């Protein structure tokens, strides 16, 4: 049997995204409480996100969304990582409020530990992607649009990690659209 790498990419990306999502799931979480959600978009769902990014650019004037939409189109998969917002009751003040109860009147102010959990998960995921020699980039823009689309119900602070298997990473040497 002869396998041509170009003909195996779809299978390879599915296997890789499963391993990367697992790395995000097993990353340490604040107080051991798992509020992280992780999904992967492939095929038409990835194209739908890219189109939504273009529309969001028109609506908001955020031109960098256009450039990043092209990166989403050039990828084979996009992993989205979000967190459900929940204070952890540590009263650490890291969010700007002295006590978690003080933050209750401001539900759009995230618990700092929820935010840190996303960063730790993404670091673990990026490391796994690097171990697999995949091209990636962490994108606020695609996560922002995914959140506006309601792709991850109950999640805030969604970030995206598009993944490419190609001879040249589409995520670097990008033309700025400001």
Q: Which pLDDT band holds residue 71 (cuts at 50, 70, 90)?
A: very high
Q: What is the pLDDT of residue 178?
A: 60
Secondary structure in 3-state letters for 53-69: HHHHHHHHCCCHHHHHH
* pLDDT over threshold 80, residue 177: no
The residue ranges of every structural domain in the chain are 5-164
Q: What is the pLDDT of residue 174?
A: 61
Closest Cα partner for 87 from 98, 72, 79? 98
Query: For the chain, what is the mean pLDDT?
Result: 92
* pLDDT over threshold 90, residue 75: yes
Which CATH number, 3.40.190.80, 3.40.50.970, 1.20.1260.10, 3.40.109.10, labels domain 5-164? 3.40.109.10
């Amino acid at each position: 049997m002869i396998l041509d790498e170009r003909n195996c990419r779809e299978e390879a990306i599915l296997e890789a995204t499963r391993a990367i999502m697992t790395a995000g799931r097993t990353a340490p979480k604040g107080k051991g409480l798992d509020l992280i959600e992780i999904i992967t978009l492939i095929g038409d769902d990835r194209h739908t996100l890219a189109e939504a990014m273009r529309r969001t650019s028109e609506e908001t004037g955020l031109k960098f969304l256009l450039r990043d939409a092209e990166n989403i189109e050039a990828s084979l998969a996009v992993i989205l990582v979000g967190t459900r917002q929940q204070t952890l009751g540590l009263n650490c003040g890291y969010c700007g409020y002295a006590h978690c109860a003080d933050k209750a009147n401001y539900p759009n102010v995230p618990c700092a530990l929820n935010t840190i959990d996303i960063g730790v998960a993404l670091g673990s995921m990026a490391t796994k992607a690097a171990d697999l020699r995949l091209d990636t980039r962490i994108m606020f823009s695609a996560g922002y649009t995914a959140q506006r689309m309601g792709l991850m119900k109950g999640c805030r602070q969604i970030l995206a990690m598009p993944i490419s298997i190609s001879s040249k990473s589409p995520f670097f040497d990008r033309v700025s659209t400001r």
